[in-house]
Amino acid sequence: MVVRRFVCLLAGLIIFCSVSIGSAQTITTGNLLAQSEYQTPYYIVDSGVPGSTVMIIGGTHGNEQAGWEAVSLLQSEYSQSIRKVERGRLIIIPKANIRGVNRFVRLMERDDLNRCYPGDENGSPAERLANQITTIMQTYQVDAVIDCHESLKYANSGGLGNLIIATSGPARTLAKGAVNYINAHTQPRTANQSWRIGGYPIKGSTAWQAGQLQRNGFTIETCVKDKLADRIAHQIMVIEFLLAKHQI
């Protein structure tokens, strides 16, 4: 009888422990290019439950507003526990090229951050930033990287707008799923506004770097011809779809 009571007590403790772990979302922060004029924060939202790790980046190009607005909004909502990571963890970099964001320009000085990967710890600011982001991808063994961009034109008129670019392998299937999902839920008013899957990430880009590490890499491209609120909503819709597919 004593043994049975002990087993019951133990079972109760195990359940109690797993519940408390499951609700123990923690957020730790750090800075990229710390102590410089390019210093920009990153956030690690950890559910405390084993699972995938996904990195979300905004502001790789400072003038692509819906990307960094969407990622900043998500970061704010996770920080306030409006959103919760149920399993695994998220690494969020809201404004990678923060000086570009503040000045509303694409480049970091003369460099395109999205051509600088894997980066160089002794290089230009953009190369050093790419190096630090690559190091985070490796250190935390990310399963996927989602980089949020915008284009001046729609994909079928010479731009990349309303397109998801993905690395080879399982990322292509996930990107096709995301395209179908967003087209079904946004009811594009014109053929231009329909979402499509794009080609493979360009060499030196964030998503390309994920591919180099044999991880899923995605570039989301909204189109500035659409309303800003819609573009932010579309970015978040695609991110939410991809997070769900990674069981986050």
Query: Where on the chain is the footprint of Zn ion (CB under 5 A)?
Result: 61, 64, 149
The residue (of 64 and 226) whose beta carbon lies closer to Zn ion is: 64
Pairs from 185-189 (Cβ < 8 Å, separation ≥ 24): 185/237, 186/230, 186/234, 186/237, 188/162
List of residues 6+ apart from 169 with CB closer than 8 A: 216
CB of 153 to Zn ion, least distance (A): 13
| 71, 148 Cβ separation under 8 angstroms | yes
**In this structure, what token pair is assigned to residue 160?**
């990349």
Q: CA 229, CA 231: separation in Å to the nearest integer? A: 5
The residue (of 137 and 148) whose beta carbon lies closer to Zn ion is: 148
CB of 247 to Zn ion, least distance (A): 28
Q: Which of 90, 107, 91 is nearest to 99 (CA)?
A: 107
The residue (of 38 and 78) whose beta carbon lies closer to Zn ion is: 38
CB of 120 to Zn ion, least distance (A): 21
The residue (of 171 and 207) whose beta carbon lies closer to Zn ion is: 207
The residue (of 89 and 234) whose beta carbon lies closer to Zn ion is: 234
CB of 78 to Zn ion, least distance (A): 23
| 143, 126 Cβ separation under 8 angstroms | no
CB of 220 to Zn ion, least distance (A): 10
